[in-house]
């Protein structure tokens, strides 16, 4: 018996090897049987009636679409201008202080003037960039009405993340109340633009 089989039997071996390889491939193994996957009866949403709820179940539609949220709006729009903050009670300011400490101080700083540890600073360029001071002489809160601040918390800003999903409506308004207690953060703190002639002589009175 020679160690080199004749050419014909070599072709036969190659053919047998090919058939064997095809035979164990997953496609070939599944072929006669896997078509039932394509013919499966798909269950289509809403095609059947939903089963009745078990007895005693109480619908809590408020959990899915809370009704006690202020209507959402785009900052600065006419709709936004109609949003009014609830009365700023002491309890609400306290709640706002707590929520501000958790959600805002990391970027805007505890007093709204000196930015917090997450705000970008020289040497830490990978931190949150572009954080604005809310309070103090250059604070942005004095330029923004309550609805603007509320909607910024709820929907975020150009860079600032949104917090509407993390707190209740009451908590967001409470933060607005607290921000107003920070130095120089009352709405309209800067002097309004006045007619130059009329302003003459008033500069001493309104330094």
Contact between 153 and ligand HEC by CB under 6 A: the answer reads: yes
Give the pair of three-digit tokens for residue 111: 């007093």
User: CA–CA separation, 151 vs 183, rounded Å?
Assistant: 21
Nearest residue to ligand HEC, using CB?
Answer: 157
Contact between 107 and ligand HEC by CB under 6 A: the answer reads: yes
User: Of the candidates 80, 88, 106, 170, which one interacts with ligand HEC according to CB under 6 A?
Assistant: 106
User: CA–CA separation, 173 vs 93, rounded Å?
Assistant: 9
Contact between 157 and ligand HEC by CB under 6 A: the answer reads: yes
Contact between 142 and ligand HEC by CB under 6 A: the answer reads: no
Give the pair of three-digit tokens for residue 5: 């089989």
User: Of the candidates 110, 118, 168, 169, which one interacts with ligand HEC according to CB under 6 A?
Assistant: 118
Q: How far is the CB of 162 from ligand HEC (least distance, A)?
A: 9
Contact between 133 and ligand HEC by CB under 6 A: the answer reads: no
Closest CA to 154 of 73, 56, 92: 73
Contact between 70 and ligand HEC by CB under 6 A: the answer reads: no
Contact between 115 and ligand HEC by CB under 6 A: the answer reads: no
How many Cβ atoms are within 10 Å of 104's Cβ, its own excluded?
A: 21
Closest CA to 147 of 111, 170, 128, 173: 173
Q: How far is the CB of 33 from ligand HEC (least distance, A)?
A: 55
131, 155 contact by CB (below 8 A): no
- Residues near ligand HEC, by CB under 6 A: 103-104, 106-108, 118, 128, 130-132, 134, 140-141, 144, 149, 152-153, 157-161, 163, 175, 179
């Amino acid at each position: 018996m020679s160690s080199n089989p004749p050419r014909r039997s070599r072709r036969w071996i190659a053919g047998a090897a090919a058939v064997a390889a095809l035979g164990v491939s997953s496609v070939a193994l599944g072929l006669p049987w896997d078509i039932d996957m394509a013919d499966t009866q798909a269950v289509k949403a809403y095609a059947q009636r939903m089963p009745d709820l078990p007895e005693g179940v109480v619908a809590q539609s408020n959990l899915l679409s809370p009704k006690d949220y202020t209507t959402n709006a785009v900052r600065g729009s006419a709709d936004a201008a109609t949003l009014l903050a609830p009365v700023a009670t002491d309890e609400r300011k306290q709640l706002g202080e707590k929520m501000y400490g958790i959600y805002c101080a990391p970027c805007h700083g505890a007093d709204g003037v000196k930015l917090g540890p997450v705000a970008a600073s020289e040497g830490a360029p990978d931190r949150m960039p572009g954080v604005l001071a809310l309070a103090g002489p250059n604070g942005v809160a004095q330029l923004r009405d309550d609805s603007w601040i509320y909607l910024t918390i709820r929907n975020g800003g150009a860079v600032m993340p949104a917090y509407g999903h993390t707190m209740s409506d009451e908590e967001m308004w409470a933060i607005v109340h607290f921000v107003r207690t920070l130095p120089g953060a009352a709405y309209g703190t800067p002097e309004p633009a006045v007619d130059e002639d009329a302003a003459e002589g008033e500069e001493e009175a309104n330094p």
